[in-house]
Chain A
Amino acid sequence: MIIAAEHLSKWYGHVSGLNDVTVSVPEGITGLLGPNGAGKSTFMKIVTGQLRPSTGSVRVFGEPIWGNPSQYRRLGFCPEQDAFYEHMTGMQWVEALAMLHGMSHDAAETAARHALDAVDLLDVGDRKIGAYSRGMRQRVKLAQAIVHEPQLLILDEPLSGMDPIMRRRTIRLIKDWAHAGRSVVVSSHVLHEIEAMTANILLMHNGRVVAEGNVHQIRGLIDAHPHRVSIRAEQPRALAQQLLAGDDVSSVRLDGDAVIVETPRPDSFYARLTGIAASGEAGAVDEVTSPDDNLQAVFSYLVKP
């Protein structure tokens, strides 16, 4: 495990930022999800050693991070805030931060060029950051996070402010970094972006971790909420009648040529549906989808007030 937090809590005066969080983040890409105020940024700031836990502990690469600056060689952080040395050019800024990693001037310049090239900013590297657009500012932040080729990237809302094309490219970049052996923890509240990057999520709400792991596994565990299945069929009424006969269906409704079913036992239901479709008793079945087996549904179920 690359990050291990145990009974981690953080208070800001009387306000709880994190509440008894025990979680292990594996290698690869982990999506950190949650609504505003869930504790994502607080978690990231503790993991990057900017804040000290009020109680509990956190280890990164097996070592405590607070007061352990040598760990930052292996860590790259892209913060959420839009803050720069505005009068510096992108190249100067990334190079200066690379030199703080102990690189020589030439090595830092080369590394900065590579980093800016990776985020498509090399051609505007000589422009002052103050003149950058929102998306360019976001990208130069990414560049400073990767310039020293860290093993672990912590990205706090990295896609914010980017246009759709750049978002897609950055998502691809993040996946490429992961394929190259880096681990990435990326936070967002845009669900389909996280889904595009990874199936491994950490879902936070009100300072707690409400779910962690593979999104499909999480969905399966939410027994309290029946799965919804949408079946487009030739004879929806006949199909609905057949489906209602079983005890693995809690509700059925018709929606045009589709039958929307809620089932608490999806495995049993799918097996029965296959039988009905194969027998042809209720006509042809054209399409079976589960609008539920995705991150949006997991998010809505777990985060609903």
Chain B
Amino acid sequence: MPVHDQGYRHYTGERTLHGRGWWVIARAGLADRLHERRFLGLLLFAWSLFVVRAVQLYIGQTLARGILFAPSEQTFQLFLDQQRLFVFFITIYAGAGLIASDRQSHALQIYLSKPITRNDYIAGKLLTLAIFLVAVTWMPAMLLLVLQVLFSGSLAFVADHPRLVPAITLASALQVALAVVTMVALSSLSASRRFAAMLYAAIAIFAAAIARVLQASTGHAGWVLLSPESTLLAVNDAIFGAGSDAAVPLPIAIGALAAVFAACIVILERRVRAVDVVA
């Protein structure tokens, strides 16, 4: 029987251009998380430090008018540094299952059987986590800057620190990119989101601790490169123009981060496939 006699009708709705699959995947990931009250609570709690800093800025500008709360470039660097804790927990909460859950439910094959490329899929997953992390790094940092301008009633602070806006943007971008790429790559390694979370926590916490201990016991600053987090701190020092205790040359630190990114991309390239080979 001809298809049209069975009541089938061609889809007449809107079709987006080919190549927007990444946004569909990202949107689904965002909607998935935003339905969880616990996660929303975590996101809100991640802004608590912003509130504290905002109050400090207000006191510094209005009540105290003193040096105690006078902002500087290091205020924003310190803020981003302190937000690392929330970046860590949000990355684990929202990122561990991004690909692992799809592997567990065999959904990867379904995704990759649609007219989307692997790059669309990976980009969508990266974007999902990146949006959440930007919301707790770049957004509150920029908002603090805006508040500083509003409280002071002039753009003098921004004019006196012209590299602050690009520094905040670059530091946030690096922080977000490192967390996102690492977490999504680790998530692709396993069908267990718990294992992926464990791996990420090990890299973030353990590697940093080992690097510090080795640095302290051997006196070589180069051990900081063992920990991507510690390396990022050294790069942030350069971005904000602060002196670095690690004393690792900037090109080497950037090279180390680039190596981490490259390793993660290789992992994603090898692991995000529609077929799983079982020995």
Contacts and interface: CB of A to CB of B under 8 A. Distances in A.
Interface of B: 278-279
Lowest 3 A-B CB distances belong to which pairs? A130-B278, A131-B278, A128-B278
Contacts of A130: 278
Interface in A117-144: 128, 130-131
Contacts of B279: 128, 131
A131 B278 CA distance: 6
Interface residues of A, number: 4
A29 to B, nearest CB: 32
A128 B276 CA distance: 14
Interface string A78-94: 00000000100000000
Contacts of B278: 86, 128, 130-131
B154 to A, nearest CB: 55
6 contacts: A86-B278, A128-B278, A128-B279, A130-B278, A131-B278, A131-B279
Contacts of A86: 278
B107 to A, nearest CB: 14
Nearest to B276: A130
B128 to A, nearest CB: 27
A274 to B, nearest CB: 39
A154 B76 CA distance: 63
B194 to A, nearest CB: 15
A90 to B, nearest CB: 14
A245 B167 CA distance: 96
Nearest to B106: A82
B117 to A, nearest CB: 27
Contacts of A131: 278-279
Nearest to B277: A131
A217 B119 CA distance: 59
A130 B279 CA distance: 8
Nearest to B191: A86
Nearest to A128: B278
A299 B202 CA distance: 55
Contacts of A128: 278-279
A86 B279 CA distance: 11
B234 to A, nearest CB: 41
Nearest to A129: B278
A130 B276 CA distance: 10
A93 to B, nearest CB: 15
A164 B40 CA distance: 49
A211 B279 CA distance: 48
Interface in A131-164: 131
Nearest to A86: B278
A86 B191 CA distance: 12
